[in-house]
């Protein structure tokens, strides 16, 4: 139970906040009124997912669920999981468009750009963490 609470406190609050902001913007039709907002939101989403992966690893390591992770492996995990989340986000948009009639995907170019921007967000976070805490191996939270 404590690990779950710690995961929310240390790792999941940021992506949840970005998701809530996205929902609010969607309901206010902000993306329709100001389409350039979509790009920065995907970058922010990638940053939030990378933050979550980094923090989640730290929580699990500190709880003894995972062994300490070497920096190179942490970087690979962060990149791979952020990239996977970006792809699955676009899958969810596709399913939403085809099952409940939303119109959030504007074509292949838009979908691929959204995935790229999410991945770039993850790389931005990884770059920031590598400059800020290059020796981090998971023994501290690092946020």
Tell me the pLDDT tens digit for each residue of 22-33: 999 988 989 889
pTM for this predicted structure:
0.87
3-state secondary structure 14-30: HHHHHHHHHHHHHHCCH
Whether pLDDT at 139 is above 90: no
Round to whole Å and give the CA distance between 73 and 85. 18
3 state SS of 142: coil
Instruction: Identify the pLDDT of residue 25.
Output: 93
* Strand intervals (E) in the chain: none
Do 48 and 15 touch, CB atoms closer than 8 A?
Answer: yes
What confidence score (pLDDT) does residue 106 get? 86
**Higher pLDDT among residues 134 and 102, named by residue:** 102
Backbone angles phi, psi at 141, to 5 degrees: -70, -35
The pLDDT value recorded for residue 8 is 83
């Amino acid at each position: 139970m404590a690990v779950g609470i710690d995961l929310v406190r240390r790792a999941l609050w940021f992506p949840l906040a970005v998701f809530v902001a996205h929902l609010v913007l969607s309901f206010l039709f902000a993306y329709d009124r100001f389409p350039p907002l979509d790009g920065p939101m995907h970058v922010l989403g990638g940053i939030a997912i990378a933050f979550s992966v980094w923090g989640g690893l730290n929580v699990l390591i500190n709880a003894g669920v995972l062994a300490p992770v070497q920096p190179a492996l942490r970087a690979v995990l962060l990149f791979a999981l952020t990239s996977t989340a970006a792809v699955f986000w676009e899958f969810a948009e596709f399913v939403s468009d085809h099952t409940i009639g939303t119109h959030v995907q504007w074509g292949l170019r838009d979908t691929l750009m959204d995935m790229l921007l999410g991945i770039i967000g993850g790389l931005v976070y990884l770059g920031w963490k590598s400059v800020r805490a290059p020796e981090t191996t998971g023994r501290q939270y690092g946020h």
